Amino acid sequence: MIILDTPVDEENTGDSLQLSLGVAPTNPLYFTTSAVEFDDPNESVTLLNNSGIILGTDALTILDSPSDSGRTRQLKSLTVYNADIASSIITLILNDNGILVTILTITINIGDTLQYNDGEGFRVIDSNGNIKIISLAAPVVIETFVENQTNPGAATLTDAYVVPTGKFEFQVTVVNRSAVATAFRWSIAIAGAADNDIQYKAYDTAIAGNDIYVSETYKVNGTDVIRVYATLATLSFGINGILRA
């Protein structure tokens, strides 16, 4: 599966799928894509189709990032037809929120078509309709459930969880184990940046005695750090979610 799950917002540059050529062609190459966008909360599906030409060597975006948080886009099919007068080197790139990951680099001859179908993988078809090359499907995304538990000391900003790799979708829970009201903070430090006011999702947020706080769902990337802070040492923090790598 090829999935895009990060929209463009104030914290993210978003995900996209791109094509690039090794050498600028004399005649353009033609591409088509078919994808779906899932809106999990509403359980709705939107069909997305795109087509165009590739003329130069600059990376061309063929599938944009999801339209909003909580939505994902999945590539269902892709074709690239070589209408040039020479063979062409094609590279398919996943722009993972600013990190470029090469999915496939392949040479296709004059009249060849590179084809991808979700669940089947890649193949090259010649001008007579014969299958020339079949590859394995795109890399499988491995999901791991993370349940991180932290009990920080009073008034101590603590690195509760460092995202190791991939993408992490999570919620933060805070439990006040005491009958005494207190307050807490938590933040997301992109790539482990030094503490800064712009990182905070909750700041000196009050929590009543024996109460529970649950955050909304957030998505972060590998090397990002989730930090927590308790005014009193009576708070238990939980960071629970799915790590996709």
Say yes or no to pLDDT of 228 above 90: yes
What is the distance, to the nearest Å, from the Cα of residue 78 to the centroid of all Cα atoms in its chain?
19
Which stretches within 48-164 are classed as H helix?
none
CA distance 122 to 118: 9
**pLDDT category of residue 129 using cuts at 50, 70 and 90:** confident
* pLDDT mean across residues, the chain: 89
Which residue, among 96, 94, 81, 232, has the nearest Cα to 153 in the 3D structure?
232
Residue 93: other Cβ atoms inside 10 A: 20
Nearest to 88 by CA among 65, 61, 115, 110: 110
Nearest to 35 by CA among 69, 5, 70: 5
The position carrying tokens 């649950």 is: 214
> Which 3 state secondary structure label does DSSP give 50?
strand
What is the reported pLDDT for 80?
A: 93
pLDDT (tens digit, 9 = 90+) per residue, 17-62?
A: 999 999 999 999 999 999 988 876 556 778 889 999 998 888 899 8
- Give this prediction's pTM: 0.57
pLDDT value of residue 141: 59
pLDDT digits (tens, 9 = 90+) for 47-56: 889 999 998 8
